[in-house]
């Protein structure tokens, strides 16, 4: 069955098959996203987790073709029955910021420092709506109010540096919502924010999901955020998905040693006097990937097979997938 047919039959809002992104470097091509498959249901929040450098942000950019030549993205990304990989660039510009919006990392870098926040919201409104000048200003005010910025009309003329970190993040969300998207790609929207502001931003995104019926892909390295906000979670390592499933089931019984290591490194209630589990070593260089399973040099469950054969991301239950030759042993090994 084709991805488009799969999307229709399952009711998926987004169906991704074989997404692969390669960067050309002086040392040769480097694969940053390797054969990723994803499905996202309407109104669902999917968490994409993993260490820094695992390919999470590149995956989001690849979905909407923001990785530019000479680098190359292949695969199929089916949205509304259309493969976004085959759309002309002019039509992709309508999709980006319209049907699919992105909240980028580091709002101080993502926002234009010499344009007012109101002007930047207005640019998105001009690109994706037919509103007149006065209507756009009213809509920009409404958007700032929607994301919780006090006295929104008076803040339209402010530059990004006049906003606090949390308010800049809210302004980024307002820009993303200008085109009334049905899919929001949120790339670590709470990074570098204090805990109180993090909670406010996450509640804002979830509230908007309920209010607007959006689907959300949330990139984060914080498993607490995933537990609090996501319906399902996909775990990435070295550019590949290694496990996915409903948050509760995956957290309760991880089937991949990398997922087990991530969960074991997070303090849990009732385990105050137990040592945290650490993952020895560091992620591999994408320019020098090990043979077989990419995680095997750091894995306590590895065998000879792991060093030579890469395990596929295979279904283990109707809603769980894992890429490990020894997932039964991992499942039987209780977290500390």
pLDDT digits (tens, 9 = 90+) for 214-270: 999 999 988 888 998 999 999 999 999 999 999 999 999 999 999 999 998 877 666
- pLDDT bin (cut points 50, 70, 90) of residue 319 is very high
pLDDT, residue 256, reads 95
- pLDDT bin (cut points 50, 70, 90) of residue 9 is very low
Residues 6 or more apart whose CB falls under 8 angstroms from that of 151 comprise none
Q: Is the pLDDT of residue 194 over 60?
A: yes
pTM for the model stands at: 0.89
pLDDT, residue 4, reads 41
Sheet containing 320-322: order of strands = 100-103, 183-187, 215-219, 45-49, 232-237, 240-246, 320-322, 314-317
d(CA 238, CA 33): 8
Asked whether 12 and 244 are in contact (CB, 8 A), the reply is no
Q: Which token pair is 99? A: 């049907």
- pLDDT bin (cut points 50, 70, 90) of residue 68 is confident
């Amino acid at each position: 069955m084709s991805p488009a047919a799969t999307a229709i039959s399952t009711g998926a809002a987004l169906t991704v098959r074989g997404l692969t992104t390669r960067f050309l470097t002086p040392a040769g091509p480097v694969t940053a996203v390797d054969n990723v498959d994803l499905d996202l249901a309407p109104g669902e929040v999917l968490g994409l987790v993993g260490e820094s450098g695992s390919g999470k942000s590149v995956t989001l950019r690849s979905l909407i073709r923001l990785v530019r030549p000479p680098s190359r993205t292949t695969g199929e990304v089916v949205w509304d029955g259309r493969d976004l990989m085959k759309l002309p660039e002019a039509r992709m510009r309508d999709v980006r910021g319209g049907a699919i919006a992105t909240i980028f990392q580091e709002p101080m870098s993502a926002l234009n420092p010499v344009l007012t926040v109101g002007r930047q919201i207005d640019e998105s409104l001009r690109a994706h709506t037919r509103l007149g000048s006065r209507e756009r200003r009213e809509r920009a005010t409404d958007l700032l109010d929607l994301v919780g910025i006090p006295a929104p009309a008076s803040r339209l003329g402010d530059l990004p540096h006049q906003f606090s970190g949390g308010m800049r993040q809210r302004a980024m969300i307002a820009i993303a919502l200008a085109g009334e998207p049905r899919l929001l790609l949120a790339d670590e929207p709470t990074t570098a924010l204090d805990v109180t502001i993090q909670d406010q931003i996450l509640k804002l995104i979830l509230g908007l999901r309920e209010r607007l019926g959006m689907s959300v892909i949330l990139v984060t390295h914080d498993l607490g955020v995933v537990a609090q906000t996501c319906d399902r979670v996909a775990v990435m390592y070295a550019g590949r998905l290694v496990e996915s499933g409903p948050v509760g089931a995956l957290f309760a019984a991880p089937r991949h040693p990398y997922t087990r290591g991530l969960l074991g490194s997070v303090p849990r209630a009732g385990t105050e006097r137990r040592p945290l589990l650490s993952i020895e070593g560091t992620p591999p260089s994408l320019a020098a990937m090990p043979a077989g399973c990419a995680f095997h040099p750091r894995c306590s469950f590895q065998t000879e097979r792991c060093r030579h054969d890469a395990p596929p991301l295979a279904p283990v239950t109707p809603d769980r997938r894992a890429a490990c030759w020894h997932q039964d042993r991992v499942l039987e090994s209780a977290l500390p």
